[in-house]
């Protein structure tokens, strides 16, 4: 039987908690002062991927050109009222 919608996954939560403890223990045992500059930079590079969220790639979508027709009416007397109404209401 599947778990109800919105309820936490117990196995995932347990794994995350255990991994968190392992990582915290490993981080506390690392002597950063004894690391080379390259090792420190690599540690920062790896750590930042877990601290700062990655930006998602966004794509600009171009709108397709629309075709339309413009009819210029120079004088109302040139067009009957019915034709004018049809031109306005399209």
The residue ranges of every structural domain in the chain are: 10-56+63-89
Residue 42 is predicted with a pLDDT of 92
Residue 77 is predicted with a pLDDT of 60
Distances (CA, A) of 84 to 30, 32, 41, 54, 89: 83, 82, 73, 57, 9
- Kindly report the three-state secondary structure assignment for every residue of the chain: CCCCCCCCCHHHHHHHHHHHHHHHHHHHHCCHHHCCHHHHHHHHHHHHHHHCCCCCCCCCCCCCCCCCCCCCCCCHHHCCHHHHHHHHHC
Where the chain has pLDDT below 50, the residues are none
Averaged pLDDT score across all residues of the chain: 80
Residue 81: alpha-carbon gap to chain centroid:
53
Residue 74 is predicted with a pLDDT of 67
State the pTM of this model.
Answer: 0.41
Residue 41 is predicted with a pLDDT of 92
């Amino acid at each position: 039987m599947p778990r109800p919608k919105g309820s936490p996954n117990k196995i995932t939560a347990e794994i995350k908690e255990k991994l968190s403890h392992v990582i915290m223990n490993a981080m506390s045992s690392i002597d950063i002062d004894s690391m080379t500059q390259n090792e420190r930079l690599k540690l920062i590079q790896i750590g930042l991927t877990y601290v700062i969220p990655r930006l998602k790639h966004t794509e600009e979508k171009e709108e397709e050109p629309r075709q339309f027709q413009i009819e210029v009416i120079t004088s109302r007397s040139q067009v009957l009222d019915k034709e004018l109404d049809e031109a306005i209401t399209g």
